[in-house]
Amino acid sequence: MLYNLDYSILVFFAAMFVFTAALWISGLIPDIMSKVPNPVPDHNHTIRNNAIISIVSLTLSQILSNVPFVSL
């Protein structure tokens, strides 16, 4: 059963988690996030808030891969 596993995929995902942790420890992720405007807790700014969250999520998930990004 273990001989059928695709170990290259397991190594890839492990490397992505290591890469993501390194970015976090280096301070790059907090620096990027400090440049992002904070969502405003107001119903009049719902579209703006959704746009901010969507753009940041899409951008970081493409850079970091989806699984490690979710763990952040």
Provide the b/e sequence for 25-48 (b: ≥16 CB within 10 Å).
eeeebeeeeeeeeeeeeeeeeeee
pTM above 0.85, yes or no: no
Q: Which domain holds residue 22?
A: 2-71
Q: State pLDDT tens for residues 10-66.
A: 888 888 888 888 988 999 888 877 887 777 777 777 788 788 888 888 887 777 666
Tally of domains in the chain:
1
- Residue 68: its pLDDT value, please? 60
- Residue 36: its pLDDT value, please? 77
- Residue 35: its pLDDT value, please? 80
